Amino acid sequence: MKKVFSAILCMVLVLTLCFGMVACGKKAPEATEATVATMVEGQTYGEGATAFTFTVTDLDKNTTTVTIKTDEETVGAALVKLGLVSGSDSEYGLMVDTVNGITLDYNKDGKYWAFYINGEYATTGVDSTPVEADATYAFVAE
């Protein structure tokens, strides 16, 4: 009886040790990429003294327009902070690949997000464009 009890106790200890090692070996997921929010038409996002209009037009020509309120100095900083755009840093600045939850990859399908300021194709990057009150900034899938 003693041997059976010892064997069961030994098995329980071994299993407990194995489960403990597995649990300790698991790492929490790393937050390597910001989550990009999906905008709701007509909503206001952010808080701050300066307000501007932000419009997104997807590949199907669906347009979503919202108001952004911010104290950030650049349009890119405001949109990234709110999780409305994301991308990667390059020698030219922020290369936006995801807007309003939609990712475009020029290398895969030749599609990209074009940045517009007050209806004109931008000559500056989103992260170097100063925020101007009442301006309209847009990303259009092209």
**Measured distance CA(109)–CA(38) in Å, rounded:** 22
Mean pLDDT of 36-54: 89
Contact yes or no for 99/115 (Cβ under 8 A): no
Predicted pLDDT of residue 17: 43
Interior angle at CA 128, CA 42 and CA 88, nearest 5: 85
**131 pLDDT more than 50:** yes
Predicted pLDDT of residue 86: 92
Contact yes or no for 68/82 (Cβ under 8 A): yes
Tell which residue, 64, 62, 36, has the closest CA to residue 54.
Answer: 64
